[in-house]
Structure formats: structure tokens, C-alpha cells
Amino acid sequence: MRRLHNVIKRTGAKVPFNPERITNAIYRAAVSVGGRDRQTSENLTRQVVQILEESGAPDQIPTVEEIQDVVEKVLIENGHAKVAKAYILYRDERARSRNTRAVRAAAPSTNIPWEKLWHVLDWSVSHSVHSISALNERLRRGEIGEIIAESEAAYQEDVDTAVQMIVNRGEQIRIVIISGPSSSGKTTTTMKIDQHLRRLGMKLVTLNVDNYFFDLSIHPKDEFGDYDFETPQALDLDLINQHLSTLVSGDEIMVPHYDFKTGMRTPELTPMRLARDEILLIDSLHGLHVPMTSSVPSEHKFKLYLEPLLQIKDQHGIYARWTDIRLIRRMLRDAAHRAYDPSQTLEHWHYVRSSELRNIIPYINQVDFIINSAMPYELPLYRHKMLEQFTQWVQKYQGDPLRQDALNRARRVQNLLQEVLPHEDDSLVPESSVIREFIGGSLYPY
């Protein structure tokens, strides 16, 4: 009988064997089909481990593929057909993703808002911030104040356009959904739109869907055992739909409260009713996830999407990645407001990104309007605040097969920030700026 100490990854790297990752994978599959029994996942994991130990030679190290085959076998033999199907589909999705990665870059993507992107690129060129070298030249001329003012004006124009579109649809709209991937600026933008609409005489009521998280005891975890708040299955989608339908009908609901300190939800705590002249405002990572609002007819919803659509090239002609901008933002916000180590944000960002690609990004071209929350002047500020840490992470993760993704991201951001001239003073950034959501000093309460 062999003892499982290591596992061979698809890259050929040998890494420590961790049975909890099997449990987390089984539980995530169960959660995706409505299951919430982690104990069963742990029992199934023990069966998987036993089969692996009994089926191989004492000195044989199992591969990831071998382990996944056994997981499928155990799920099916124990009567968990739906969970097995979800697990197989996710495994197949990852396999297809790996096989097509090389050709995907050459194929047009339906997840990219091309028309919006061309407007942003045109603006970037006309304001000489379309490349790092052009941005640096403006910085050398001492034009940081002008760059900030121009960037903020472009963002505000997008916000004003979204507000006007809502107003134009009048009484038809019952729910405004503001969505977008992590650290795209949803919270600040929601507050701005709320204020603007109120000045126009429209009444808004905010529903915080964070209160609909499941208790941590039945919460899905990622591969490393951290609670996965990025997946829509972390939310009680059935209850959200029930409450939305009730509110749109003009009836009262009792909103629950989720305590992030205890990880528990208190049901039926606060009464809420939507009057005929009120609009429900939802700021949610998964607001565009169809099952979240399926009970409300589409004509009653206005869907808004946020993304930092930064259009700036480095010295090699490669555009900065939006996900890297959001990664830096989230690191700064987590460190400032949540006492969260930025290295943890980096290490788990690929799970954030994976959830985005499955549950958020595919809906970008189904929305009513897109707001670009990118500010070209972000990069000079981030160079001063974060370059040293990214340089340290490149050194830290070098040679660690378990942190290859973190290493790749750290090196990419390091190379980007090294090109930008730093600007230490952020006092010119308006207190109302969306960037203040991440660097601090905002006039909005978060």
C-alpha cells in the first residue's frame, strides 16, 4: 500500500498532497447543484484517498488526472450523480480552457465590448495617455493635475449618461443593477448614481445582497481552504429571487442580516417595502448572474456594468490588463479597510478571476450601459505604493510550483509599474473619486 505524500501536477511539478483540496472540489460541485453537506464531502474524500492508497505501487506518485478519475468514480458509486456531473463539467471546462488557450488570443471574443473600447482608446490617444511613454512625457511636463481632471471628467460623463438612460425609461424600471468584477468601482459609482437620481427627484432604495450569504458552516471553499465569496452559489439565490419578486409587486419583505464577524445570517430582521415611486438599487458582484434576478421581467431592470477599460500600451506594444489594475486596487483596499495581507490577495486572485470568467464577464454585452472606471493616473500612484512589494513577490514565488500563477501576475505587474514614472502625492485626487475607494481618503462611507 502506498502513502500519499505528493502529487504530480499537469506541468510535471511534484507538490504536497492535500486531501482537503479534494473535499473542497467535491463540496463546490455539490453547492453548484444545491447541496450544502460538507460532512458528506469529507466522507467521500476518505474513500478517494483509500482507493488511491490501495491501487498504486508503494513508490508511485499519483497524478492530478488519476485523482480526478477516482473522485468521479466515488461520486457515481455513492449515488451522487448530479454532483458527479457538475464535477465532470467543471473538469471538462478546465481542460478545454487549457487546450484552446493558445488560439483564443487570435479569435474575436464575445466578452469584449468593442464599441465602448474604441471610444476609450480614442479618448486615450487624444489625451496622450495611450502608452506608458506618452503618459510619462506628460508627467515630466508636470501635467499630473490635468491628467487627473481629464480622467475624472471622462468617468463622470459615463455616470451622467447612465443616469440619463435610467431617467428616460421612467416608470418602467423597478430595479437598477450595478455590477462588474472585483474592484471595478461599483460601490462609489452606486453612491454617485444614487445621489444624482435623488437630485432629479427619483427615490431609490438599496438592497444589500451581502446579507443573503449562506452561513460559513455551509459556505463553499476554494482550493486552498479559504471561504469563496466570489461564487454566486455563496448567496441564497432562491431567497433573493423570492424577495425581489415580492418587492416589485409592492409587498413587504423581511431582510436578513449577515454578520461577517460571526459568519452567520440572522433571518427576517428588517422590514422593507418598495413604493410605486421608488426604484430598487442593487450593487452586486453577481448582479448580472441570471439566476439572481430571474423572477423579475427584463423590462423592469436596468443593467449597468463597470470595468476599468484602461487603454495603455507598454514599451513592447502590449496593453495593460484590466484584471491587473483591479488586482492592485483590491490589494490596496483589502490592506486599508480589511486588514488583509496583500500577498493573500495575490495568491488567490486566480480563483477570483476564474469566477469572474464564469459568472460575470460573459454578461458584459447584455447590459444597458458600460461605465469605464479606469484612470490613467492610477499607474503613477500605484508605482509609488506597490512596486517594491511586487518585486519582493517575484523573488518569493520563484521556483514554487504551487504559486506559479501568483508569480506570473507579480512579474507582469512589476514590469508594468517599472516603466511608469512614480508620483507620490495623491492629494490632487478628488475626495469623490472612484480611486479613493482603494487608496483611502474618500468622502463616501464604505
Is residue 444 included in any domain, yes or no? no
If asked whether residues 312 and 184 sit together in one domain, one would say yes
If asked whether residues 44 and 133 sit together in one domain, one would say no
Domain end call among 81, 103, 125: 103
Angle between helices 38-55 and 19-32 (to 10 degrees): 130
Among 224, 231, 287, 181, CA closest to 30? 231
What is the residue-wise DSSP string for 10-60?
TTS-EEE--HHHHHHHHHHHHHHTT---HHHHHHHHHHHHHHHHHHS-TTP
Going from the C-alpha of 406 to that of each of 8, 222, 358, the distances in angstroms are: 19, 15, 20
Question: What pLDDT is recorded for position 116?
Answer: 93
Please list the residues that pair with 62 across neighbouring strands.
Answer: none
Query: pLDDT band at 222, cuts 50/70/90?
Result: low
The H or E element containing residue 412 is: helix 404-419
If asked whether residues 126 and 56 sit together in one domain, one would say no
Question: What pLDDT is recorded for position 105?
Answer: 39
If asked whether residues 248 and 301 sit together in one domain, one would say yes
If asked whether residues 23 and 138 sit together in one domain, one would say no
CATH classification at residue 383: 3.40.50.300
Is residue 108 included in any domain, yes or no? no
Question: What pLDDT is recorded for position 387?
Answer: 97
If asked whether residues 308 and 410 sit together in one domain, one would say yes
Report pLDDT digits (tens) over 56-95: 788 888 888 889 899 988 999 999 988 888 877 777 766 6
Is residue 22 included in any domain, yes or no? yes
Q: Return the ∠ at Cα 202 (arms to 201 and 208), rounded to 5°.
A: 140
If asked whether residues 85 and 121 sit together in one domain, one would say no
Question: What pLDDT is recorded for position 420?
Answer: 98
If asked whether residues 79 and 160 sit together in one domain, one would say no
Is residue 118 included in any domain, yes or no? yes
If asked whether residues 386 and 246 sit together in one domain, one would say yes
- Residue 115 phi/psi, 5° resolution? -60, -45
Is residue 1 included in any domain, yes or no? no
Is residue 246 included in any domain, yes or no? yes
Report pLDDT digits (tens) over 17-56: 888 888 888 888 888 888 888 889 999 999 999 998 888 7
Question: What pLDDT is recorded for position 232?
Answer: 86
Q: Taking all residues of the chain, what is their mean pLDDT, rounded to a whole number?
A: 89
Average the pLDDT over 315-330 and give the result: 96
> What is the 8-class DSSP label of residue 292?
G
- Residue 421 phi/psi, 5° resolution? -70, 135
If asked whether residues 178 and 316 sit together in one domain, one would say yes
Average the pLDDT over 365-379 and give the result: 95
Say whether pLDDT at 283 is over 80.
yes
Report pLDDT digits (tens) over 147-179: 999 999 999 999 999 999 999 998 889 999 999
Q: What pTM did the predictor assign?
A: 0.78
85: exposed, middle or buried (Cβ count in 10 Å: 0-12, 13-18, 19+): middle
Query: pLDDT band at 107, cuts 50/70/90?
Result: very low
If asked whether residues 279 and 147 sit together in one domain, one would say yes
If asked whether residues 29 and 133 sit together in one domain, one would say no
Domain extent at residue 74: 6-103
Domain end call among 72, 103, 134: 103
Buried b or exposed e, range 270-302, using 16+ CB within 10 angstroms: eeeebeeeebbbbbbbbbbbeebbebbeeebbb
Average the pLDDT over 242-266 and give the result: 93
Domain count of the fold of the chain? 2
Domain end call among 84, 103, 122: 103
Question: What pLDDT is recorded for position 82?
Answer: 87
